[in-house]
Amino acid sequence: MKEKIKSLKNEIELELNSVKNLKDLNEIKNKYLSKKGPVSELSNGLRDLSIDDKKVYGKLITDFKNDINNQFNILKDKFETEELNKKLENEKIDISMPGVNIGTGSPSFVEKVIDDASDFFISLGYDIYEGPEIELDKYNFEMLNLPKDHPARDAQDTYYLKDEDLLLRSQTSPVQVRVMLNGKGETPIRMICPGKVYRREDIDATHEQEFTQIEGLVIDKNISLSDLKGTFDAFVKHTFGENTEARFRPSYYPFTEPSVEMDMSCIYCDGSGCSMCKPKGWITISGGGMVHPNVLRMCGYDPDKWQGFAFGMAAERIAMLKYNMPDMRSMHENDLRETINFDRKEVK
Amino acid sequence: MISMNWVKDYINIQDENLEELADKVTKAGINVEHVIKTGIDNVVIGEVKTCTNHPNSDHLHICTVDVGTDTRQIVCGAPNVKEGLKVIVALPGAKLPNMEIKKGSIRGEESLGMICALCELGLEEETPENYNKGIYELPNDAPVGKDAFEYLGLSDILYDLDVHKHKNNDARYHIGFAYEIGTILGKKVKLPEANYTEIKDNIKDHFSLKVDTENCTYYKAKMVTDLVIGESPDFIKNRLISAGMRPINNIVDISNYVMLEYGQPLHFFDKDKLGDKIVVRQAKDNEVVTTLDEQDRKLTKEDIVITDGSKVVAIGGVMGALNTDVDDNTKTVLIESAIFNATNIRKTARRLNLRSEASLRYEKGLNFEYTDAALDRACFLLQKYASGKVLSGKVEYDNEDKKVKKVEFTTDRINSLLGIELTDKDIETELNKLDFEYEIKDNKFIATIPRRRLDIEDNVNDIAEEIGRLYGYHNLKNTMPVLPTKEGKLEHSFGFKKNVSKRMRSLGLNETRTYSLVDKNTSDMFYKDRNLVIIPNPMSTDRSALRKTMIPSMLDVIKYNKSRGLKDINIYETSKVFYGDFKEENHLAVALYGNYISNLWQGKIVKNDFYVLKGIIINLLNYLGLKNRYSFVESTEVNLHPGVSADIYLDRKKVGFFGRIHPKVNKDEIYVLEVCIDDLDINTKPLKFKAASKLPNIKKDIAFVMPISMKNEDVIKVIKHSGGRLLTDIQVFDLYVGENIGLENKSIAYTLTFEDNNRTLTDEEVMTIFNNIIKEVETKLNIKLRSM
């Protein structure tokens, strides 16, 4: 019996050594391991043996079967892996071909600036308001200390819509007037109001008839011009980088007193002067000051108890400076070759 | 333009560095845009040491000239050059009006500069006559090597001020500017001399005055006779030139000179051309006057005129009339020094497009104290420089409000407004510098504003401004408001619009920004039942109305980008639109052209069509929580493709429309959408979790053959109704049109999902429902199940 097993083992192993593929392997398996094959016949030979021999040879046969099965499985695995690898090899693609063009969703330049400024001011507890673009002269001018015959009105050429009462707002300050009137002289105010404004003027690289203002207003009991400077300083650092500095210069606006021009240090040169900065080393991007007592009074806040600051800037100007755009008119051209690049997060 | 030589008459700034002073002035509020040095560099005083004839010329001389730093050879052609003469020498590098001096040689002889005539330096007109005068001969004591312009008193530092931004009148006249410098440096101002003698003859015997308008509050006039017209003295001429005015003759120049000193415009009438009275009144409509510039001006009753009782002799505060102007034969003048209503002057000057030096100053308002001072100063100067005799007396009218402005404030309040820490003592120092009188009562300052400072109002902010600008805004600290913490919120409508905008971007649409002002002729594409808001005073027809629909703008953007070679253009915008009686709404517009998603080489394309846009609007509406509340019906918009368009209804109200642009509007296949965002901003149910069924569901496919014209929606309605509670989902998975079902028909295939959250459904009960659905659809719609 031992010899039988041994010679069968040799015979099978000889065949397995030369097998080349899964199909041949299966054939060999069928030949030896089928129900009527030589391996099963070995078990049939046990019937004639004594109980003790049955035990001894039974174990020998079982071990032999396991061994053979094991060898078959190892080879089967090997051939299957080889075949899969071959299949994958054939499925190889050119990864350098273009991917699917999933649409970009870019914001407009102005929207990007407004979003960024809104995030900044919201983080300081400011509320963001909007208001009508067709406004009353009363809110756009009169209650901002610009009575009918005020010379400063000449500077803001305005589109009037009906008589001298109804106009296209020339600034977003009327939104502030509305919020103040709503506050009834009792509620502290911390707000910005971004929105479109209209001026009746000639268009060039830095002037548009329609542009976007971001104006801010803080009214409380103890707000100072230094607070405006600190806030503005934080804003230019947020928008243009940590190294940017704020500077104030005296100015004049009818709605603020004192009034200031708000400059940031030039982001294009080291302060020694370049084509972008005027006065040398500085770029004026905003105007503001302490809310004029007449404005407070007209809007229902007692100037002996309340004080605060207001400021305003053009979103287009911020965008032009931040993204180095030479011409304001490109904001309205909507050339997608330019705008889709702005479907991108900011670098901070 | 401010001449600093001139300012030196009123304040001691001899030792100041004028560049640094300009910087201080700018920091304190009046922007000095440029500091201009007059004169020409490298023009010095020289002494001719030797002078010999040029060997190769019959008129040139070879001179050796001591110019201070060295003695050099210069070739000179002037007949009057001679040894020992003190002359003006332009050294190499000097930029004269007509040439730049360089080292060179003249007919073989080296020449290191040029000895100059006055006309060559731009100090005289370049006429043959002046040229023939030859080189300018300086006095013997002229110091060799010194700057020649400085020696002649012609070198000046000018401050070019940006006066437009400032309310402070002090920037507009030299005495005012001296006060500003006095404030900055803490120095006092000395006013110019104005003492003159008067003759017995009294003006009142020659003139009466009547002021017949409330727009003239102050009017004073004096008379000066026996005038001798001639050239003004050099200092007046030079200063007028520095300030940008042309010298004419001593009389006219004095009028301008005093205006530049005190900021008070004066008008000189030729007395002999006037009648015997002065009447100030409002003009009559269509009254015509010929002004000094020989233009006929048509007036309105808004304008102020000066008349002599019979004729108009000046447009008050703007310009005199030609009929009474000072000319070469003038012997006697009437000097007018008056105050007119600033607003009236501004309006008149604007309407007549006649912004004179006088009107610019009247527009800003004037201080009556200087109206008097200027009148006296003019009399003094006419007496001194035009041999005039001043008549005694004045004709005068005074209805000026002379209330003094006083402001009461505390140091704390100033500190609180500016965010600084000054002491009472500091405030006193600043008030002294400002030349504001003040008293201290109960720890409060009561400051009196000088009349000169018309720009300062009687409130504490104005005082804070004055103190702040002296403290220096550049010295303010960066502080943050100390306020209670509070959440920053978006106003509801602003936040809603932002959500819509963000959703559009997340769906791959690019935001545009187009004009709200549009051509009134092309803006009627949609919302035809709404009237356009027309701009009454447009600057051009392409900005002549406010848009009521955004789609024309979006089509323009597509056209612009298409012409630049773009093939896939997917855009959106949110903006206000306007209509009717000045109403405004927030709208969203979308326009799609080309492919929505593509990978061309793979042949994988989602081409823009009606259903892409429908998917986008449904995505938005669902995102806004409006699921099951909207519906689409065939559109009534005439500028959309009649078969490929829909109106959007929300809770039975039309809120917008979408579809393909009508081929007669645009041949390209463009899909557009416009919807009123405000209408989408309605109350919705709060967001809640809804558990999905854990039990298996059963799916069944089914297809019906129906006429082409039948709507999918109608079939689904019947399926849904007959499927009952257990039918939880219906999906269309195929649309088929082909000969085998008849070309008048189509087949739509659906996958129906049945499930119950609480138990597993049996095949039998689903089949019962399924068969019922088939029966109901077939009988109710009279269509057939498609055999599979």
B254-286 per-position pLDDT tens digit = 999 999 999 999 999 999 999 899 999 999 999
CB count within 10 Å of CB B427 equals 21
Whether A99 is covered by a domain: the verdict is no
Quick check: bond before A279 cis, omega within 30? yes
Kindly determine whether residue A224 and residue B479, on different chains, have CB atoms separated by under 8 Å.
Answer: yes
Closest-approach residue (CA) in chain A for B516: A210
C-alpha to C-alpha distance for A148 and A136, rounded to whole angstroms: 13
C-beta separation of B271 from B251 below 8 A: no
The per-residue b/e assignment along B600-610, b for 16 or more CB within 10 angstroms, e otherwise, is eeeeebeebeb
Q: In degrees rounded to 5, what are phi and psi of residue B328?
A: -65, -20
- pLDDT at residue A238 tops 80: yes
Q: Residue B476 is nearest to which of A107, A168, A226, comparing CB atoms?
A: A226
C-alpha to C-alpha distance for B605 and A100, rounded to whole angstroms: 9
C-alpha to C-alpha distance for A78 and B760, rounded to whole angstroms: 45
Please report the pLDDT score of residue A99 as a whole number: 92
Q: Residue A162 is nearest to which of B513, B571, B582, comparing CB atoms?
A: B582
Give the domain extent around A75.
2-91
Same structural domain for residues A252 and A181? yes
A306 to chain B: which residues are within 8 Å by CB?
none
DSSP string, B184-245: HHT----PPP----EEEEEGGGT-EEEE--TTEEEEEEEEEES----PPPHHHHHHHHHTT-
Q: A81, A83, A79, A69: which is closest to A29 by C-alpha? A: A69
Whether A101 is covered by a domain: the verdict is no
Q: Choose one of A35, A56, A91: the last residue of a domain.
A: A91
Whether A158 is covered by a domain: the verdict is yes
Over residues B233-239, mean pLDDT:
85
C-beta separation of B41 from B95 below 8 A: yes
Same structural domain for residues A85 and A117? no
Same structural domain for residues A81 and A131? no
- Written as one letter, the residue type at A114 is I
Q: How far is A84 from chain B (nearest CA, A)?
A: 26
For A191, residues 6+ apart whose C-beta sits below 8 A from its C-beta are A126, A127, A128, A129, A176, A179, A216, A217, A218
Same structural domain for residues A190 and A68? no
Cα separation of the two ends of chain B: 96
Over residues A332-346, mean pLDDT:
90
Q: Supply the pTM of this predicted model.
A: 0.84
Q: Decide: residue A337, CB within 10 A, 0-12 exposed, 13-18 middle, 19+ buried.
A: exposed
- pLDDT at residue A7 tops 70: yes
C-beta separation of A82 from B485 below 8 A: no
Same structural domain for residues A65 and A147? no
Kindly determine whether residue A334 and residue B571, on different chains, have CB atoms separated by under 8 Å.
Answer: yes
Whether A104 is covered by a domain: the verdict is no
Q: B707, B756, B691: which is closest to B727 by C-alpha? A: B756
Q: Reduced to 3 states, what is the DSSP secondary structure of residue B515?
A: coil
Number of structural domains in chain A: 2
Residue B504 Cα distances to A65, B526, B570, B592, angstroms? 69, 22, 10, 12
Report which secondary-structure segment, H or E, holds B370.
Answer: helix B368-385
C-alpha to C-alpha distance for B762 and B769, rounded to whole angstroms: 11
A102 to chain B: which residues are within 8 Å by CB?
508, 597
C-alpha to C-alpha distance for B455 and B470, rounded to whole angstroms: 16
Q: With bands split at pLDDT 50, 70 and 90, how would you rate the model's confidence at B167?
A: low
Same structural domain for residues A263 and A145? yes
Same structural domain for residues A58 and A205? no
Same structural domain for residues A86 and A117? no
Residue of higher predicted confidence among B775 and A276: B775
Q: Residue A227 is nearest to which of B479, B506, B561, comparing CB atoms?
A: B479
- Written as one letter, the residue type at B293 is D
- pLDDT at residue B166 tops 70: no
Please report the pLDDT score of residue B749 as a whole number: 95
Q: Reduced to 3 states, what is the DSSP secondary structure of residue A119?
A: helix
User: A176: which 2 tokens?
Assistant: 């502030």
Q: Choose one of A91, A119, A145: the last residue of a domain.
A: A91
Closest-approach residue (CA) in chain B for A229: B478
Kindly determine whether residue A106 and residue B505, on different chains, have CB atoms separated by under 8 Å.
Answer: yes
Mutation target vs A (from B478, B539, B567, B677; most A CBs, 10 A cutoff) = B478
* Strongest mean pLDDT among A48-57, B140-149, B709-718: B709-718
Q: Decide: residue A194, CB within 10 A, 0-12 exposed, 13-18 middle, 19+ buried.
A: buried
User: A18: which 2 tokens?
Assistant: 């030369």
Same structural domain for residues A31 and A140? no
Count of CA atoms in the C-beta half-sphere (13 A) of B469: 33
Q: Percent of chain B scored above 70 by pLDDT? A: 99
Mutation target vs A (from B483, B520, B547, B582; most A CBs, 10 A cutoff) = B483
Please report the pLDDT score of residue B138 as a whole number: 87
- pLDDT at residue A1 tops 80: no
B485 to chain A: which residues are within 8 Å by CB?
125
Q: Residue A97 is nearest to which of B342, B533, B601, comparing CB atoms?
A: B601
Kindly determine whether residue A247 and residue B474, on different chains, have CB atoms separated by under 8 Å.
Answer: yes
Q: In degrees rounded to 5, what are phi and psi of residue A155?
A: -70, -30
Q: How far is B511 from chain A (nearest CA, A)?
A: 5
Predicted ipTM?
Answer: 0.87
Closest-approach residue (CA) in chain A for B365: A151
For A98, residues 6+ apart whose C-beta sits below 8 A from its C-beta are B599, B601
B209-235 tens-digit pLDDT: 999 999 999 999 999 999 999 988 888
Share of chain A residues as helix, strand and coil, in percent rounded to the nearest 5: 45, 20, 35
C-alpha to C-alpha distance for B26 and B31, rounded to whole angstroms: 4
Closest-approach residue (CA) in chain B for A233: B478
Kindly determine whether residue A223 and residue B459, on different chains, have CB atoms separated by under 8 Å.
Answer: no
C-beta separation of B418 from B468 below 8 A: yes
Q: How far is B95 from chain A (nearest CA, A)?
A: 27
Please report the pLDDT score of residue A156 as a whole number: 61
DSSP class of B450: P
Q: What is the average pLDDT score of chain B? A: 92
Residue A131 Cα distances to A127, A175, B687, angstroms? 13, 5, 29
- pLDDT at residue B788 tops 70: no
- Kind of pairing, strands B198-202 and B389-392? parallel
Q: What is the average pLDDT score of chain A? A: 90
Over residues B398-414, mean pLDDT:
93
Q: Residue B510 is nearest to which of A196, A210, A339, comparing CB atoms?
A: A339
Whether A191 is covered by a domain: the verdict is yes
A178 to chain B: which residues are within 8 Å by CB?
none
Please report the pLDDT score of residue B371 as a whole number: 95
B534-562 tens-digit pLDDT: 999 898 889 999 999 999 999 999 999 99
- Written as one letter, the residue type at B82 is K
Which residue's structure tokens are 């105050």? B339
Domains of chain B: 2-38+156-185 (3.30.56.10), 43-151 (2.40.50.140), 198-398 (3.50.40.10), 406-471 (3.30.56.10), 492-680 (3.30.930.10), 698-785 (3.30.70.380)
DSSP class of B735: E
Same structural domain for residues A140 and A228? yes
CATH number, position A190 = 3.30.930.10
Closest-approach residue (CA) in chain B for A296: B461
Whether A347 is covered by a domain: the verdict is no
C-alpha to C-alpha distance for B45 and B144, rounded to whole angstroms: 5
Whether A327 is covered by a domain: the verdict is yes
Over residues B728-739, mean pLDDT:
94
Kindly determine whether residue A336 and residue B561, on different chains, have CB atoms separated by under 8 Å.
Answer: yes
Kindly determine whether residue B513 and residue A111, on different chains, have CB atoms separated by under 8 Å.
Answer: yes
Q: In degrees rounded to 5, what are phi and psi of residue B582?
A: 60, 40
Same structural domain for residues A282 and A330? yes
For B712, residues 6+ apart whose C-beta sits below 8 A from its C-beta are B732, B748
- Written as one letter, the residue type at A185 is G
Q: B73, B74, B79: which is closest to B59 by C-alpha? A: B79
- pLDDT at residue A183 tops 70: yes
A340 to chain B: which residues are within 8 Å by CB?
510
Q: Residue B599 is nearest to which of A101, A257, A337, comparing CB atoms?
A: A101
Q: Residue A101 is nearest to which of B165, B480, B598, comparing CB atoms?
A: B598
Over residues B23-40, mean pLDDT:
87
Q: Reduced to 3 states, what is the DSSP secondary structure of residue B112?
A: coil
Whether A103 is covered by a domain: the verdict is no
Q: How far is B174 from chain A (nearest CA, A)?
A: 21
Q: Percent of chain B scored above 90 by pLDDT? A: 75
User: A234: which 2 tokens?
Assistant: 């934080």
Same structural domain for residues A310 and A168? yes
Quick check: bond before A188 cis, omega within 30? no
User: What is the number of CB-based contacts under 8 A between chain A and chain B?
Assistant: 255
Quick one: three-class SS letters along A234-267? HHHHHHHCCCCCEEEEEEEECCEEEEEEEEEECC
